[in-house]
């Protein structure tokens, strides 16, 4: 099981974001990313919301750095760690726009993109952007098929229910021959979508027993990723045994990758915590970064 990070600073969900993240500088963010890179962590994440209604901000938070700009910045400050969107909302973009923007990021980063995508659930945001909410699932399926055939080719073509194009040039395009696509969601349909059209599943808002039950009823192909997040921030310095147990539990459910949140009171403390987390993973030979 590989260890990735829910990048601090770039998302502030109430009850989860630490105080230091509110005033953190971009240099502190870059220092955290560089440390994660040097320590061998697998990936950094960044989420997408364009504009969150104030009423929803109380539960979802209202700080969401743009993933393309953020991951582009972090790509320039790192060398090997992968850059994962978690997630881009498919309904907000034409698939060719995603292919061009994130294909460019893949090229700039030397092939380090993992494209996490989701159907979306915030109706007011769809309405604001003029995106269709009622049929967002069907649109997402078509968009995923379009992306699979368009991310890594200079002259993509697709003929689907919602998106159709040919005779187009898309340069630059992703340098990876096959950009990994992880599909987020919390329903059985999202898992089916991931199995049919993606390379991995990123469940959220589900209890461990729910995830276990959903996976038990699915036939997972070789290499399919199950990307699970830690339910609370980890404290590897003060609670190494608890961190060890939590990571073991995630692997026991079937996780091939764990997206970790880390408890800290400053950027320097966060980096210290990353070092301790890496040591737990490596010394106990339970997980590998």
10-residue mean pLDDT series, the chain (289 residues): 97 86 97 98 97 89 96 98 98 98 98 98 96 98 98 98 98 98 97 98 94 96 97 95 95 96 97 97 63
Q: Per-residue DSSP letters for 77-124?
A: T-SS-EEEES-EEGGGS-HHHHHHHHHHHHHHTTS-EEEEEE----HH
Question: Does residue 238 fall inside a structural domain?
Answer: no
> pTM value?
0.96
- For tokens 């994130």, the residue is 102
Residue 289 lies in a domain: no
Residue 236 within a domain: no
Tell me what pLDDT residue 77 has. Answer: 98
pLDDT at 284: 55
**pLDDT at res. 15:** 75
| Residue at 186 is within a domain | yes
Domain-located, residue 270 = yes
Is residue 237 domain-resident? no
- For 40, other C-beta atoms within 10 Å of its C-beta total 15
The pLDDT assigned to 289 comes to: 53
Kindly state whether residue 145 falls inside one of the protein's structural domains.
yes
Predicted pLDDT at 286 = 52
Report yes or no on 134 lying in a domain.
Answer: yes
- Residue 71 is predicted with a pLDDT of 98
Q: How many domains does the chain have?
A: 1
CA distance linking residue 105 with residue 6, whole number of Å: 19
Q: What is the CATH number of the domain that holds 189?
A: 3.20.20.30
pLDDT digits (tens, 9 = 90+) for 54-74: 988 888 899 999 999 999 999
**For residue 54, what are the domain limits?**
2-231+243-283
DSSP state of 39: H
């Amino acid at each position: 099981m590989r260890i990735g990070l829910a990048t601090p600073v770039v998302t502030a969900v109430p009850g989860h974001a630490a105080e230091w993240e509110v005033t953190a500088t971009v240099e502190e963010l870059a220092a955290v990313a560089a440390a994660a890179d040097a320590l061998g962590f697998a990936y950094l994440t960044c989420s997408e919301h364009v504009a969150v209604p104030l009423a929803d901000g109380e539960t979802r938070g209202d700080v969401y750095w743009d993933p393309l700009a953020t991951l582009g910045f972090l790509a320039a400050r790192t060398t090997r760690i992968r850059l994962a969107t978690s997630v881009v909302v498919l309904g907000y973009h034409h698939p060719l726009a995603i292919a061009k923007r994130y294909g460019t990021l893949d090229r700039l980063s030397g092939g380090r993109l993992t494209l996490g995508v989701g159907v979306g659930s915030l109706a007011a945001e769809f309405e604001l952007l003029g995106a269709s909410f009622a049929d967002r699932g069907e649109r997402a399926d078509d968009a995923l098929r379009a992306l699979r055939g368009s991310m890594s080719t200079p002259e993509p073509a697709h003929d689907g229910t919602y998106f159709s194009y040919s005779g187009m040039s898309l340069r630059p395009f992703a340098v990876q021959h096959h950009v990994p696509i992880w599909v987020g969601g919390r329903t059985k349909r999202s898992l089916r979508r991931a199995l049919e059209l993606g390379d991995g599943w990123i469940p959220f808002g589900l209890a461990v027993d729910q995830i276990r039950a959903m996976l038990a009823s699915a036939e997972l192909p070789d290499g399919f990723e199950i990307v699970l997040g830690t339910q609370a921030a980890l404290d590897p310095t003060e609670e190494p045994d608890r961190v060890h147990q939590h990571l073991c539990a995630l692997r026991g459910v079937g996780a091939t990758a764990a997206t970790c949140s880390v408890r800290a009171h400053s950027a320097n403390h966060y980096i210290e915590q990353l070092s301790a987390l890496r040591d737990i993973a490596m010394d106990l030979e339970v997980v590998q970064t």
